[in-house]
Amino acid sequence: MQITCGTDIIEIDRIQKSIEEMGERFLERVYTPQEIAYCESKKMQKYQHYAARFAAKEAVFKALSGELKDKYAIEWRNIEVINNEQGRPKVHLQGLHIPNIQNIDISISHCKSYAVANVVAVMDL
Ligand SMILES: CC(C)(COP(=O)(O)OP(=O)(O)OC[C@H]1O[C@@H](n2cnc3c(N)ncnc32)[C@H](O)[C@@H]1OP(=O)(O)O)[C@@H](O)C(=O)NCCC(=O)NCCS
Domain ranges of the chain: 2-123
111 Cα nearest atom in ligand 1: 11
- Tell me, what's the pLDDT at 65? 85
Q: Would you state the pLDDT for residue 125?
A: 76
pLDDT on residue 69: 64
Parts of the chain with a pLDDT under 70: 69
Q: Do residues 101 and 93 lie in contact, with contact meaning Cβ atoms separated by under 8 Å? A: yes
Instruction: Tell how far the Cα of 23 is from the centroid of ligand 1, in angstroms.
Output: 28
Q: Which of 35, 82, 83 to mutate to test the pocket of ligand 1 (most atoms within 8 A of CB)?
A: 83
Residues 2-123: name the CATH superfamily.
4'-phosphopantetheinyl transferase domain (3.90.470.20)
Q: Could you give the 3-state DSSP secondary structure of residue 37? A: helix
